[in-house]
Amino acid sequence: MQTLQARATLPTMMNRRDLLRLGAGSLASLALPALAAPNPGNPLRGLNAVTFKSPTCGCCTGYVRFLESQGVRVRVALEDDAKLERFKDSLGVPATVRSCHITRVEGYLVEGHVPLEALVKLLRERPRVDGIALPGMPVGVPGMPGKSAEPHRVVAFTKGRVTPFLTVRPA
């Protein structure tokens, strides 16, 4: 109790060194990217995932980093392109929705560069689907550089059947 009382009676005036520390700390916190720390309300936080990708694909590595920035623990399995396609065939991923990599998380398949909004919806709603996909490799989604002006249409797939899941509009 004495410590608390002693702190309460300390002068409130800051010296120049304290002011500089406070300012530097504030600037550093503003400089951190928005995805650097996982959102505490994010259902991805603390999950385990496996991403299957080609060893030469850099955008897949960018997507893994995106998942990790959301608090997902990701194990990467490297496969050559032909083996990866056969693997996707065995999982029932329709050829029309394929991209460069596939992630398995919480019993779902996530094909390609699926945006955060779609992942959150998938894990909160837990629909009866095999997985979701963002077909192709569009610009401006996690792992793909650039800014997109076009909406991204995420689809769900089950037993080879494809249905709309979520349209994500650019910010």
Would 63 be classed as within a structural domain?
yes
Would 24 be classed as within a structural domain?
no
Would 10 be classed as within a structural domain?
no
Distance CA 156, CA 116 (A): 15
pLDDT of residue 8: 35
Q: What is the DSSP letter of 1?
A: -
Would 148 be classed as within a structural domain?
yes
pLDDT of residue 40: 56
Question: Cβ distance 106 to 137 under 8 Å?
Answer: no
pLDDT of residue 56: 87
List, as one string, the DSSP characters of 17-69.
Answer: HHHHHHHHHHHHHHHS-TTSS--TT-TTTT-EEEEEE-TT-HHHHHHHHHHHH
**CATH number for the domain including 105?**
3.40.30
Provide block-wise average pLDDT over 10 residues at a time, the chain (171 residues).
36 36 35 41 90 89 93 95 95 95 96 94 96 92 87 95 95 74
Residue for token pair 């990790």: 68
pLDDT of residue 140: 86
Would 160 be classed as within a structural domain?
yes
Would 2 be classed as within a structural domain?
no
Would 54 be classed as within a structural domain?
yes
Kindly report the three-state secondary structure assignment for every residue of 124-152.
Answer: HHCCCCCEEECCCCCCCCCCCCCCCCCCE
Would 36 be classed as within a structural domain?
no
Number of domains observed in the structure of the chain: 1
pLDDT of residue 98: 95
Give the domain range for residue 55: 48-168
pLDDT of residue 158: 96
pLDDT of residue 32: 31
